[in-house]
Structure 1
Amino acid sequence: MTDKLVISGLEDFQAREGELLFTSPPLTASKDMIQGFCRSVNQLDWFHFDEERAATSPFGAIVAPGMFTLSLIHSVYFENVELRGLRALFLGSDRFRILRPVKAGDQLSLRFTVARVEVREEGFAVHYDFSWHVNGQEQPVTLGNFIVRYWSEQD
């Protein structure tokens, strides 16, 4: 495990505006992980479960649902970043795109960038850009953005 990046307030985010915040260590999108996610959201299509049939499909393997990578972002973010003295509230996403399938066994890395920092009357908002990549491939499998509102724990 790499050392976490510590963020303690507005100034830390402003200093990183427009910069890559982190690239995560590889995460294996295992068949069990994909199928567990599918069961949790009742997405029981054959191309998530039937290995033989999926092998003969255009994908060539079991594939993850589109929202799979989106669901991993929270935990991967906090494996790489430690917030100190801040409260956070997820405000939403303006875009999310699936560019190609994630196959069982793919090694994924998350790239997370501080796109913009917006000072508000109370607290501030950080606009993040993210992309998931299969290791060894430059084109992302998914990409999008998030907006998170932050306040000091003293506010």
Structure 2
Amino acid sequence: MKVFSDLNEFAAALGSQHGPTDWMEISQDRVDLFAEATDDHQWIHVDPERAAEGPFGATIAHGLLTLSLLPHFSHQLYRVDNIALAVNYGYNKVRFITPVKVGAKIRARGEITAINQLDGAVQATTMITVEIEDSAKPAAVAESIVRYLA
């Protein structure tokens, strides 16, 4: 993990690449908990027997579950010290490219693609790619926007 000592050092990191993070296995328990939290109980996520006969051959993680793990992965990519607060400002261009089957391992890489200086803050856009172990295509790609307050 890259540690930036302050906002000035971080602001100079435009174009830098970070990662990969540690692998995380996606368990059926995690998928089921996400289904409970979001009331999204579609069978491709929560019914292993039916999903085995379905288009993916197994249950898959919700795309939004993959997206919800980006803060976890981001904390492994880099950190900015000597700030008051970091706030998730949102996401741009989110794409779910390859389904994540239950039991698969995923990790992330990031590239800082935009830095905007604001009054007392820096807003950064990081292109995060979520990879699936042994897959040529990523699970997801998203532009994550975080505002760092001095």
TM-score (normalised: structure 1): 0.87
What is the aligned partner in structure 2 of residue 72 from structure 1? 69
Q: Bigger shift: 106-115 or 81-90?
A: 81-90
Moved over 6 A (4+): none
SS of residue in 2 equivalent to 1:16: coil
**How far apart are the structure 1 equivalents of 2:24 and 2:144?**
21
CA RMSD of aligned residues (A): 1.6
Identity among equivalent positions (%) equals 26
TM-score (normalised: structure 2): 0.90
* Deviation (angstroms), 1:59: 0.4
**How far apart are the structure 1 equivalents of 2:115 and 2:19?**
17
**Which residues in structure 2 correspond to 1:119-134 (within 5 Å)?**
119-134=117-132
* Deviation (angstroms), 1:136: 2.4
1:79-109 deviation line (CA, Å, top 9, x unaligned): 4433321121221112211112111011101
Q: Give the count of matched residue pairs.
A: 149
Which AA in structure 1 matches 2:50?
R
Task: List gaps (5 residues or longer) in structure 2.
Answer: none
1:38-83 deviation line (CA, Å, top 9, x unaligned): 1111111111121111011110000111101111111222244333
What is the aligned partner in structure 2 of residue 63 from structure 1? 60
8 Å Cα contact 1:13-1:114 kept in structure 2: no
SS of residue in 1 equivalent to 2:3: strand
1:112-138 deviation line (CA, Å, top 9, x unaligned): 111111112332111111111101223
SS of residue in 2 equivalent to 1:132: strand
1:8-66 deviation line (CA, Å, top 9, x unaligned): 22233234311212211111011111111111111111111211110111100001111
**Which residues in structure 2 correspond to 1:4-153 (within 5 Å)?**
4-86=1-83, 87-152=85-150
**How far apart are the structure 1 equivalents of 2:6 and 2:80?**
8
**How far apart are the structure 2 equivalents of 1:47 and 1:136?**
22
Task: List gaps (5 residues or longer) in structure 1.
Answer: none
8 Å Cα contact 2:77-2:109 kept in structure 1: no
Which AA in structure 1 matches 2:118?
R
